[in-house]
Structures are given as structure tokens and as C-alpha cells.
Amino acid sequence: MKRLGKIYILIIMLFLYLPILTLMVLSFNEAKSMAVFTRFSLHWYAELFQSKLMLGAIVNTFSIAILAALIATIVGTMAVLGIDAMKPRTENVLLAANNIPMLNADIVTGIALMLFFLMIGVPRGYCTILFSHATFCIPYVILSVRPRLNKNTDKLYEAALDLGASEKYAFRKIVLPELWPGISSGFLLSFTMSVDDFIITYFTRGAGINTISTLIYSEVKIGIRPSLFALSTIIFVVALVTLIIVNYKQNKADKMAA
């Protein structure tokens, strides 16, 4: 059974990562063909960094993701603190309402936001994408931060006030450290979802502005160039290196704590 389990896991891992490995190999293929590997070349990477269209899409994607994640994290954290101060019945209703956008189909959210911008007469562009991404990321931040706020946090905060600490000092030294793991995970989740989003971006973007996802969608219609393989390879490698560094630091911290 153990051997069958290992074989099963190996098959799943191959199914997940073999397409990515194939994409990475093709990004170094000198020919445009996806069927024949002719010779190792960095031609498509050079084309990637020379294309103003692709560089613009990269800048738009990551600047929107960072700003949207930052806005969503701040608003979501403040919302958690406000909800916690409410009566239990009101708190439960708001937390239940917070789950609706996460269960709702992206296409419904995208069309609704598009109609909202059209109704109020706001031209679609960079700012409408940023607003939309921050909006759909807020519920995920609330979901990440809310479990970190418990009764012990309230008791410690009140004890600090009784001992003479100011509200700002008690919040900075007691509440914020308790919430920080949830805040950081909410920020990273928001950033990832913003980078990955296509449907909401497609409905809320204006003419002449692209993110990586909408650019790839446009390229599919005329034929994908291998420079997009190069871009995907770079994103995968950066994500992999970041994950390795984070896990290494976490393991090191756990060993020091032990």
C-alpha cells in the first residue's frame, strides 16, 4: 500500500508539474515551434524585455496587485476590528455576508462592477481595475485576520489599559502582533489573487490597458509567442525561490523556538 501511495503521489506531481516543465523547456527553444526543440537560445527572453506591450502588462499587473493587496489589507483589518466591537448577532450577520462575494461567481462580480462604473460615468482604466481588485480581496483579508482576534487578545488589551498604557501603545504592542500573521497571510493571498485574476479585470479594464492575463487572452486569438513562455518561466521561478526562502526562515525560527 505504501508503494502504491508513493506511485499515486508521483503521478499527481507529474500531472501538476510536467506541463510547467514543458513550458520552461520551450521558453529556451530557438524555434517558435512547440513540437520541435531546435537549439538552446535566450531569444525569447530578449524579446520579452524589449516588448513595450509585455513590459507594460507586467508593470500594470504587479503594481495593481501590490496596491490592491495593500488597500484590501488595511480596509479588511479595520473591518475586523469594527465587527469585533459589535453585538454577536450583528457580527454573525456581517461575517455571513462577507462570505457571499467569495462564493459568488467571478463573472457576476465582474459584470456588476462594470455596470456600476458605467452607471456612475467613470471611464474604465487602471483605477477601475485597482478598485475592483481591492473590492474582491477584502473578504479574504477579513477571513484571514478574523480568527486571530480572540477573547485573550481583548483581555490583554484591557489589562494593558488598566496598567496605564495608552490605547495606541496597547494596540501597537498587543493587538497588532496578535493580528500580524493573519494580516500578512491576507496580504499575500490578496496579492496572489489579484495577479491571477482575469474575469474581473477583463470586464473592468479600458481600451489600451492590459495585465498579464488579458494580454495572454489577446495573444491566444492570434497565436501565443514563446516570449510568454519566458514570462511564465520567470514568474514560476520567482514564486518557487520565494517559497523556499520563506519555508527556510520559518523552519529556522521553529528550531530556534524549540
User: Which pLDDT score, from 0 to 100, does residue 92 have?
Assistant: 86
Whether residue 191 is contained in a domain is answered as yes
Whether residue 171 is contained in a domain is answered as yes
d(CA 234, CA 48): 11
Q: Does residue 158 carry a pLDDT above 80?
A: no
Q: In the structure, what pLDDT confidence band is assigned to residue 258 with cuts at 50, 70 and 90?
A: low
Q: Is 114 found in the same domain as 12?
A: no
d(CA 57, CA 45): 15
Q: In the structure, what pLDDT confidence band is assigned to residue 1 with cuts at 50, 70 and 90?
A: low
Q: Is 200 found in the same domain as 88?
A: yes
DSSP state for residue 29 in the 8-state scheme: B
d(CA 23, CA 224): 12
- Output phi, psi for 40, to 5 deg: -65, 135
pLDDT digits (tens, 9 = 90+) for 70-120: 999 999 999 988 888 888 888 888 888 888 888 888 899 899 999 999 999
Q: Does residue 232 carry a pLDDT above 80?
A: yes
Q: Does residue 63 carry a pLDDT above 90?
A: yes
User: Which pLDDT score, from 0 to 100, does residue 168 have?
Assistant: 79
Q: Is 99 found in the same domain as 17?
A: no
pTM of the model: 0.83
Q: Is 220 found in the same domain as 151?
A: yes
The rounded percent of the chain whose pLDDT value lies above 70 is 97
Whether residue 248 is contained in a domain is answered as no
Rounded mean pLDDT of 154-167? 74
Whether residue 88 is contained in a domain is answered as yes
Count: domains in the chain: 2
Q: Does residue 64 carry a pLDDT above 90?
A: yes
pLDDT digits (tens, 9 = 90+) for 4-17: 878 888 888 888 88
d(CA 227, CA 225): 5
User: Which pLDDT score, from 0 to 100, does residue 100 have?
Assistant: 84
Whether residue 255 is contained in a domain is answered as no
What Å distances lie between residue 21 and 44, 160, 231, 251, CA to CA?
A: 16, 54, 14, 27
Q: Is 127 found in the same domain as 76?
A: yes
Domain residue limits at 14: 1-41
Mean pLDDT of the chain: 84
SS3 labels along 87-112: CHHHHHHHHHHHHHHHHCCHHHHHHH
What would you report as the CA-atom Rg of the chain, rounded to the nearest whole angstrom?
23
Q: Is 16 found in the same domain as 92?
A: no
